């Protein structure tokens, strides 16, 4: 074997034997090539044992990549002041020349150019550092959903994060059949040269290059988990491309169970919402069950629409997580259990503090800026907050009391009966509307998703940003084909889930939100009842909406609130001109993003616009609930 001598010199006998036991030439070749190229001082190989997990935890602490907090099972990690979010400019697809034209609206680089650049940057990048090789699975191991992964990194914080976020899969690799042994995702990462604060020094050479043709991700000179933890959004891009070629789906969706105690049933929903549009809060509605909060794989298994949570844990934004709004998560963050906090403040009491925590916070401490005190300014004269707005927590999902353990562990996933697509706008989309069929749901609910800027957003307020499927940042092949693949997959199953749109952000004339944050429980349970044929509905030009009497009862039942008919009428009035504008924006966006978008998609939207304009001519611009007769 070409790299045998090199790997034996870099590894202990135990580590080398773990690697050799796999009898997988492709794994050996991957590890050997980058061991030679990146030149680490040593390499440790992990299996699924608790001893190896503990070794990773211990190394992260010993190297200063993490620091223990007051509760000894909790640690904190800081990224540099300039490495606090996904590097969109430095994140590119490596694309063969013949495919460059079709990928021009995505951030791409010609394959040979990108490969040569990343090899130059990564040459000797691990010199003097210890590296680690880990084996994980996207989705449950040994199941139809499994995608095996190999991670090679010199960051023990990254390794520790992935142990929390993903299922360890060394035993899965041991059991792989000969024809499966090349079918794994490969991730090579280095934090690069470190400065005096133990942070990445050469951020000008920060790169995340993704080769979807060969399922390899190269991540160099970064530490922030969104750039360095390859198994998360980078792997998602590989999986979206793979699923598009193989006839299944990878979606930016939660998986959760709506619990109807009266009927003694649980109905599984998946949902996609752009950032700040209610995704996590919907997945965590009190009284329901969570399977996963971020990424789902969909497969047709024996004619059924089945889904799994790809992950094992949560990498969640911690800003504004507090006891009132997020009681389940907040309670767990206050326990002595394995959690990695990143880019929050460590107070003098060695407790973690963050923005919007809902408690009195210290006036000094240590954070991603360094020594911090209230009022301290950075080099540009900007005040430094006690924690970064993109600060995170990394935590196992099975810590949550509301986890659906059976669904979470199911090798064949859960049977999905409802899909939710939620955006943010103040005056167009009603709080909940059912699509009459799957294709209509994809084209009129999913493709038209938008997120409206607020006063908290830099720039103009009220601007609507297109976000088809709430997945735009991660779609790794042309969006027109991706849309058609969504349509085809849904139509291939026997139990086609019902699709519903959501919008929690309708405002009144006074500019205030009309319903409370908790109203989403009502919209969910109306959708759950529709799936089981328990509610009638009014037609609109784009779908079906609830009767007032049903919502009034649901508001009383779940929230003990009075829901007035006046509010109902305002919320569920169909606004024709607004919807035509929305569809025109969607058409323009698709035309800009993918010139090869199938003609039938535009024809479908044109027909929808015509239907709305005819309705406007007959009923007026604003059509109150029950007035439209489709």
The overall pTM is greater than 0.85: yes
Q: Is residue 76 part of a domain?
A: no
User: Among 367, 397, 427, where does a domain finish?
Assistant: 397
Task: Say which DSSP state 385 is in.
Answer: P
> Domain check: are 115 and 57 in the same one?
yes
Helix (H, G, I), strand (E, B) or coil at 124: coil
What CATH number does residue 441 fall under?
3.90.228.20
Place of tokens 């706008």: 425
> Domain check: are 427 and 552 in the same one?
yes
> Domain check: are 536 and 462 in the same one?
yes
Q: Is residue 158 part of a domain?
A: yes
Tokens of 73: 């099972």
What CATH number does residue 41 fall under?
3.40.449.10
> Domain check: are 449 and 323 in the same one?
no
> Domain check: are 184 and 263 in the same one?
no
> Domain check: are 384 and 420 in the same one?
no
> Domain check: are 196 and 255 in the same one?
no
Burial class (CB in 10 A: 0-12, 13-18, 19+), 543: buried
Helix (H, G, I), strand (E, B) or coil at 431: coil
Q: Is residue 233 part of a domain?
A: yes
Q: 524: phi > 0 → left, psi -120 to 50 → alpha, else beta; which?
A: alpha
- pLDDT reported for residue 326: 84
> Domain check: are 229 and 328 in the same one?
no
Structural domain that includes position 555: 250-313+406-623
User: Among 215, 230, 246, where does a domain finish?
Assistant: 246
> Domain check: are 165 and 228 in the same one?
yes
Tokens of 407: 């669904």
Q: Is residue 79 part of a domain?
A: no
> Which residue stretches of 108-194 are H helix?
111-122, 156-165, 170-175
- pLDDT reported for residue 344: 97
C-alpha closest to that of 541 among 439, 440, 431 = 440
> Domain check: are 319 and 438 in the same one?
no
> Domain check: are 612 and 466 in the same one?
yes
Domain total for the chain?
Answer: 3
Q: Which parts of the chain have pLDDT scores under 70? A: 454-461
Q: Is residue 555 part of a domain?
A: yes
C-alpha closest to that of 624 among 573, 564, 575, 548 = 573
What CATH number does residue 336 fall under?
2.170.8.10
C-alpha closest to that of 443 among 324, 583, 303, 344 = 583
- pLDDT reported for residue 419: 98
C-alpha closest to that of 297 among 225, 259, 246, 230 = 246
> Domain check: are 172 and 187 in the same one?
yes
- pLDDT reported for residue 82: 87
Q: Which are the catalytic amino acids?
A: 277
Place of tokens 């979010």: 85
User: Among 344, 369, 397, where does a domain finish?
Assistant: 397
Q: Is residue 629 part of a domain?
A: no
């Amino acid at each position: 074997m070409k790299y045998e001598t090199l790997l034996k010199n870099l590894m202990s006998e135990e580590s080398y034997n773990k690697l050799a036991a796999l009898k997988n030439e492709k794994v050996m070749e991957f590890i050997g090539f980058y061991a030679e190229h990146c030149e680490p001082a040593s390499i440790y190989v992990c299996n699924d044992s608790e001893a190896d997990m503990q070794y990773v935890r211990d190394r992260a602490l010993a190297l200063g990549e993490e620091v223990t907090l007051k509760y000894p099972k909790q640690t904190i990690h800081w990224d540099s002041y300039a490495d606090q979010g996904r590097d969109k400019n430095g994140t590119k697809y490596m694309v063969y020349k013949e495919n460059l034209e079709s990928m021009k609206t995505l951030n791409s680089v010609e394959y040979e150019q990108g490969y040569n650049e990343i090899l130059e940057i990564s040459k000797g990048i691990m010199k003097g550092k210890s590296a680690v090789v880990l084996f994980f699975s996207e989705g449950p191991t040994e199941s139809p959903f499994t995608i095996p992964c190999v991670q090679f990194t010199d960051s023990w914080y990254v390794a520790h994060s992935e142990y929390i976020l993903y299922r360890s899969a060394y035993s899965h690799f041991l059991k792989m059949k000969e024809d499966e042994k090349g079918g794994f995702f490969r991730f090579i990462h280095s934090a690069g040269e470190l400065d005096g604060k133990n942070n990445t020094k050469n951020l000008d050479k920060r790169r995340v290059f993704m080769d979807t043709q060969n399922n390899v991700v190269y991540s160099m000179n970064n530490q922030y988990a969104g750039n360095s933890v390859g198994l998360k959004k980078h792997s998602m891009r590989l999986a979206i491309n793979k699923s598009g070629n193989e006839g299944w789906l990878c979606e930016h969706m939660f998986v959760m169970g709506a619990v109807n105690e009266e009927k003694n049933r649980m109905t599984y929903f998946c949902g996609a919402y752009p950032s700040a549009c209610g995704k996590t809060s919907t997945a965590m509605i009190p009284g329901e069950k969570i399977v996963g909060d971020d990424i789902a794989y969909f497969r047709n298994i024996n004619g059924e629409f089945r889904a799994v949570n790809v992950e094992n844990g949560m990498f969640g934004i911690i800003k504004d997580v507090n006891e009132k709004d997020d009681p389940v998560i907040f309670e767990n963050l206050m326990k002595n259990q394995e959690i990695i906090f990143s880019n929050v403040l460590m107070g003098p009491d060695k407790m973690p503090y963050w923005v919007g925590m809902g408690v009195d916070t210290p006036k000094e401490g240590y954070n991603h800026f360094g020594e911090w005190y209230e009022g301290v300014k950075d080099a540009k004269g900007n005040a430094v907050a006690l924690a970064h707005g993109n600060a995170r927590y990394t935590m196992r999902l099975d810590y949550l009391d509301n986890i659906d353990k059976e669904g979470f562990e199911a090798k064949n996933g859960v049977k999905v009966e409802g899909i939710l697509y939620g955006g943010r706008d103040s005056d167009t989309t009603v709080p909940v509307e059912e699509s009459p069929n799957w294709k209509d749901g994809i084209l009129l609910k999913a493709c038209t998703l938008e997120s409206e800027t607020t006063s908290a957003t830099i720039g103009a307020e009220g601007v609507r940003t297109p976000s088809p499927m709430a997945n735009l940042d991660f779609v790794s092949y042309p969006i027109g084909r991706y849309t058609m693949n969504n349509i085809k997959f849904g139509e291939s199953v026997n139990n086609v889930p019902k699709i519903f749109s959501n919008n929690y952000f309708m405002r009144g004339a006074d500019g205030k939100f009309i319903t409370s944050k908790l109203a989403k429980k009502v919209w969910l349970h109306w959708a759950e009842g529709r799936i089981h044929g328990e509610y009638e509905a009014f037609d609109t030009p784009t779908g079906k909406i609830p009767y007032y009497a049903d919502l009034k009862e649901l508001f009383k039942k779940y929230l003990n609130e009075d829901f007035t008919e006046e509010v109902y009428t305002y919320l569920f009035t169909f606004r024709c001109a607004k919807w035509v504008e929305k569809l025109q924006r969607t058409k323009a966006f698709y035309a800009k993003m993918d010139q090869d978008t199938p003609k039938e998609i535009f024809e479908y939207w044109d027909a929808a616009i015509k239907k709305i304009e005819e309705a406007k001519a007959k009923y007026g611009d604003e059509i109150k609930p029950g007035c439209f007769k489709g």
